[in-house]
């Protein structure tokens, strides 16, 4: 691997330290991941759950919809 050196502001360094602590990653891994995402080599798409998290539990209905065959009467006709 190739080694690079760069200077960053104290603010950015503090943000990276917090993010590294929170994610359990090293700062160098965060930088690599950010560069990969920026260059388009790594695309981090959200999961279906992440996209629909605000929709979970928003519908009021019977609790037995998936198991009670009476709810299927007329379905597909």
Q: Is residue 77 part of a domain?
A: no
Q: What's the domain range around 36?
A: 10-72
Q: Is residue 61 part of a domain?
A: yes
Tell me the two tokens of residue 66.
């998936």
Q: Is residue 2 part of a domain?
A: no
Q: Minimal CA–CA distance to 30: which of 15, 49, 52? A: 15
Q: Is residue 16 part of a domain?
A: yes
Domain count, the chain: 1
Residue spans of the chain under pLDDT 50? none
Q: Is residue 3 part of a domain?
A: no
Q: Is residue 41 part of a domain?
A: yes
- pTM equals 0.49
pLDDT number for residue 43: 66
pLDDT number for residue 65: 75
Rounded Cα gap, residues 66 and 17, in angstroms: 47
């Amino acid at each position: 691997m190739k080694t690079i050196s760069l200077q960053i502001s104290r603010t950015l360094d503090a943000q990276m330290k917090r993010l590294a602590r929170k994610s359990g990653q090293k700062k160098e891994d965060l930088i690599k991941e950010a560069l990969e995402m920026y260059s388009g080599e790594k695309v981090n798409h959200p999961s279906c759950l992440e996209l629909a998290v605000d929709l979970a539990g928003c519908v009021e209905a019977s609790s037995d919809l998936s198991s009670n065959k009476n709810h299927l009467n007329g379905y597909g006709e």
